[in-house]
Structure formats: C-alpha cells, structure tokens
Amino acid sequence: MRIKSTVLCPFYAYIMKLEKELELYQIAEDQAGYFSLQQARQLGLQRNQVYRDIKRGKLIKAGYGVYRFVQFPASNFEEIHRAVLSAGKNTVVGFQSALYVYELSDIIPSEIHLILPPTASRRREDIRVHTIQLEPDDITSFEGLPITTVAKSIIDCAFANVGDEEVRLAILQSLRRGMTTKEKLIQESKKRSAKIQRLISQSVERIKL
C-alpha cells in the first residue's frame, strides 16, 4: 500500500523542524544557552516558531531579539551576551569588559566594550565600540562569550589609559590564578608603546609566584 505524500509532508516538516531546533541548541550550548533571532533565521526558523517555543516553556526571552534555552541558567553576564548577539557576527568582548568578565577588575564598566570589524557601525547605545583588527590568536571563549585573551585584554586596557594600579591588579590576579603567563604579557606589550612595555615589565618583575 502506498502512503500518500500529503501524509508524509507534515511528518517530514516536523522532523526538519526538530533537526533545526537541535542545531540551534548546539549553537546556543557554546553561548551559555543564548542565541539571537538572526541565528535562528539562518537555520530556517521563523520568529513565530521562536515565540511559540516561549509559550511552551522551552525558551526565555533575554532581550530584544535574544533568547535562552530554559536548560541553561541566566548568566551573570547576560547583559554582555545580549550586546554581543545583538551586534552580530565577529563581535568580541574586549578592554574593560573583558577584565570584568574574567573577574580581574572590581570596576563595573559604565559601557560594554565590544570589538567589531572595522566596517561595523559605531552607533550603539550603552556600548563602546572598538573597531580594531584582531588576529585569531587574540580571541578565545570564556563563559560562552567570544573574548580577547587575558594577556591582550590587560594590555589593551593599559593602552586605553585604565589606571596603572588597576592594570597591576589585573596582572597580579591573572598570574596567581594561572590565567596567563609573564611571557605572554611581555610579548603582548611589545605591540604597544615603550611606556606600556615598561609598565608591564616592571609589574611582572615585582610579582613572585
């Protein structure tokens, strides 16, 4: 007996939807459970499908165009997740916000510092956009966020005129926690001015591990 295609079509559509949702879940896994509507659409899922899953208790709306799977707890850095996902592809957390995420600073930045490609728009409310070129080795992942490495984050903050004491504190804490090495800090500082190189080398030399 042949099964009519009209019976199979809804079944295949349902299976395809499940596959797309699984793929979206896998993406969100690497982002602390968060995803953007844009990421969902790229997989072929529509806004109404996302809203339906919110009503079913599968998703939580974390912000405009940003959602979280209920299997994941809210991140301590949810505001930064929202900013990164809203800014789009190739966005990286950097500068003071990176130190905050790494818990290497007691200061909560008044703005979220994001590094975007040079062609990106700089007009973003409550966000400080840095349009600099990053190398692949400059970027890592921490707490589900794309973020500059510890060494680069510290050196960039020194370049951005964050107070010397704040920079020294970040160096001390990062070395004691094994988050970076003296060698990496000195090597990264060589990309900046002689003043920054002196600050980093003197700070590193004072620390006895």
At 163-187, the pLDDT tens digits run: 999 999 999 999 999 999 999 999 9
The pLDDT of residue 122 is 60
Judgement on whether residues 64 and 103 belong to the same structural domain of the protein = no
What pLDDT score does 5 carry?
Answer: 47
Q: Specify if 81 maps to a domain.
A: no
Phi-psi region of 57 (alpha: psi -120 to 50; beta: other; left: phi over 0): left
| Reported pTM | 0.89
Phi, psi of 113 (to 5 degrees): -95, 115
Range of the domain at 58: 5-69
Sheet of 66-69, strands arranged across = 34-36, 66-69, 59-63
Chain segment 107-137, per-residue pLDDT in tens: 889 999 999 987 766 667 789 999 988 999 9
Reading the block at residue 179, the tokens are 């988050």
Q: Specify the number of domains making up the chain.
A: 2
8 against 101, higher pLDDT: 101
Decide if 19 is inside a domain.
yes
Give the residues across from 107 on adjacent strands.
none
Residue 10 clears pLDDT 80, i.e. is over it: no
CA–CA gap between residue 56 and residue 65 (Å, rounded): 18
